Structure 1
Amino acid sequence: MPLLDAANLATKILLYGASLAAIGAALHGALGLHTNRRAYTWLAALVAATTLIRLLILNAQMGGSLGAALSLDQFGWTWAGGGRPALALFAGAVLLFAASIAKGRILPMLAAVSISAGFGLTGHTAGLEAPGLAPWVVAVHVLIAGFWLAAPVTLWPAPALTDRDVLARAESFSRVARFIVPLLFVSGVYLFWRINGDLTSALNSGYGRLLATKFLAALLILGLGALNMTRVTHQLATDAVSGRANLRATLRVDAVLFVLILGIIAAATTISGPVE
């Protein structure tokens, strides 16, 4: 069982990372923040592969061991619980692959929405007695998180980019982020309340403390984002060398914090859970 638990945690991290990266790449591409359509192909393959692996791990959990991953005996139960979110993720992967072939903004946006919807169809909110809007809020939360997570890649001031290109990307990202990132925090607080109810008792649990740590990490990223929107963006316009250096520094910290948050989310949904 420890091996199965480790596989469960690892595959969740992989699925979350691949899905959020795909969402971010799709949204950033639709907004013109990058033109690397080849990335869509690789990310679509990653989303499809990690979704399939997650189904196999769920099947193994139903069977009680990793050896039961390919067993058809309990797959009906596995599909009953994980089929709909898997279909949404597979559909998103197909749409993203199509976006790598056909030009336009609609396909990548649809891909991002479909992948986000997959997370709204599963998890703790799906298990609520009266979920109401919670699954929809999860989908929006994941959609915005994906947009935010892609920043260290899209905004990275690569030597091949001109100073004007780096500044244009930073400004375009900031124009969108200043409106939707606050919604990420509002939706996160709402979901924490819907799942846990009592804030005080939730913080006395491992699950609550994990989510509190995630919230603090997200606040740090928000602070770095505010720094980028004010000081760093101004530096990119007036002192490109310093601006590039500071942008690289903040994006490195962002990337580390994003990895930390992915691990926390996976742990919160695997080795812990909300207060009953």
Structure 2
Amino acid sequence: MSAGIWDIAILVSKWLSYMAMLAIPGAVFVAWLCRQVPTGGPELGKGLISHYLLPATVLGILASSLFFLFQVGAVNQRGLGGMFDPVISQILAQTTLGDGLRWRLSGFFLALIAAGLWYIARSWPSAATATKKVPWILSAQVLTILAAGALLCMAVSFAVLGHVSELGIVSRLMLVLHISAVCLWIGALIPLHVVCRSGARDKSEMDRHAVHMLMVLFGQAAWIVLGVLLVSGLYLAWRLSGGLSGLLTSSYGQWLLLKLLLVVALLGLSARHRFFLVPELVLSGARYLRRSIGFQIALAASVLLITAALTTLAGPPG
């Protein structure tokens, strides 16, 4: 297996792990927002956790494990069997690659515990005999804490891997903030796209009002998240590219500029949602909003692919 094929395998596994890392906090975030909608909100978020948390967790564990095995195979260069070389695996496990894998898998296993508790909590009332009271460990607060811990672990995994690990503590803290903001914002898009089905024009007015309130709450929270994302992202772009000249002249900087342009397009669509599509939702339904969110999802997937390529096939200048 040639080095080029290993690079592609590493790229795909990294991209899949990114998708899983987005889905976990995104689903929990939207489900939490649904609980804040007084009428119809809990019904909107009813299936988000069960449909996204467990599948994303399993995908993340598999993709992250394959990412490490592909790295072993790329070093070994002895075909598929080389992925399981115990000596090289032990050596890589003691590097920053191993540190990143441990943090990332810790995050996914916290999410797996949260998913398990969610399924137990969902079946608890029917299984209870003497009492209907749900134990505190099955409460929504515990689920939120576990999801927040999972998000933190996954964000820290980026800070100990790749190019940013060579920079100072400020840059690594900025990356943790940046990844957390990306997971909350981009990760919420697919759950919101699904929820918008309930706001279709042929649905009841109560459903459309619930979706409208959810989108208003998301918009209010998103601007805070986007502020963190932009400040941290611009700081990291400047540090990694080596300034304006690096952004314009190096291949890494030019790919980074393409990524920034796609992010600007995502921000433009978010502004369109906030000021035009969401206010019209109750009257015209969520069809146009859902279509626009679908376009956002496609752009976000492209941004993640470029990010995976930047950290796999390219490097900062110098």
Provide TM-score, normalisation by structure 1: 0.91
Match among 220, 230, 245 for residue 175 of structure 1 = 220
1:261 aligned residue = 303
Residue-by-residue CA offset, 1:211-268 (whole Å, 9 max, x unaligned): 101101000110111111111111114x132xx1220121121011011101111111
Distance (Å, rounded) in 2 between the aligned partners of 1:29 and 1:203: 41
Match among 116, 139, 145 for residue 103 of structure 1 = 139
Which residue identity is paired with 2:139? K
Which residue identity is paired with 1:107? L
Give percent identity, aligned residues only: 24
Distance (Å, rounded) in 1 between the aligned partners of 2:107 and 2:295: 29
Contact kept? 1:22, 1:47, Cα under 8 Å: no
- 2:179 is equivalent to residue 142 of structure 1: yes
Distance (Å, rounded) in 2 between the aligned partners of 1:32 and 1:118: 29
Contact kept? 2:198, 2:208, Cα under 8 Å: no
Task: Provide closer, same or farther for how the CA distance between residues 65 and 266 of structure 1 changes in structure 2, counting only shifts above 3 A.
Answer: farther
2:27 aligned residue = 25
Match among 192, 197, 215 for residue 237 of structure 2 = 192
* Helix, strand or coil at the partner of 1:37: helix
Distance (Å, rounded) in 2 between the aligned partners of 1:175 and 1:267: 32
Superposition map of 1:116-127 within 5 A: 116-127=155-166
Shift of 1:270: 1.6
Task: Provide closer, same or farther for how the CA distance between residues 99 and 188 of structure 1 changes in structure 2, counting only shifts above 3 A.
Answer: same
Which residue identity is paired with 1:27? F
Superposition map of 1:235-254 within 5 A: 235-237=280-282, 239-241=283-285, 244-254=286-296
Residue-by-residue CA offset, 1:103-151 (whole Å, 9 max, x unaligned): 32222222222222211221210023xx221112111111111111123
Residue-by-residue CA offset, 1:4-54 (whole Å, 9 max, x unaligned): 121121111111111122232233334447342222111111111111111
5+ unaligned residues in a row in structure 2: which ranges? Answer: 36-44, 118-137
Larger Rg: 2
- 2:236 is equivalent to residue 234 of structure 1: no
Distance (Å, rounded) in 1 between the aligned partners of 2:34 and 2:159: 27
Contact kept? 1:202, 1:274, Cα under 8 Å: no
Q: How many pairs does the alignment contain?
A: 271
* Helix, strand or coil at the partner of 2:85: coil
5+ unaligned residues in a row in structure 1: which ranges? Answer: none
Shift of 1:75: 1.5
1:165 aligned residue = 210
Shift of 1:66: 4.1
Distance (Å, rounded) in 2 between the aligned partners of 1:84 and 1:27: 27
Task: Provide closer, same or farther for how the CA distance between residues 147 and 16 of structure 1 changes in structure 2, counting only shifts above 3 A.
Answer: same
Please report the RMSD computed on the Cα atoms of aligned residues, expressed in angstroms: 1.8
* Helix, strand or coil at the partner of 1:158: helix
- 2:254 is equivalent to residue 212 of structure 1: no
Distance (Å, rounded) in 2 between the aligned partners of 1:31 and 1:222: 21
Comparing 159-168 with 141-150, greater Cα deviation is found at 159-168
Shift of 1:274: 0.6
Which residue identity is paired with 1:255? I
Task: Provide closer, same or farther for how the CA distance between residues 196 and 257 of structure 1 changes in structure 2, counting only shifts above 3 A.
Answer: same
Distance (Å, rounded) in 2 between the aligned partners of 1:93 and 1:262: 19
List 4+ stretches of structure 1 deviating above 6 A: none
Distance (Å, rounded) in 2 between the aligned partners of 1:137 and 1:30: 25
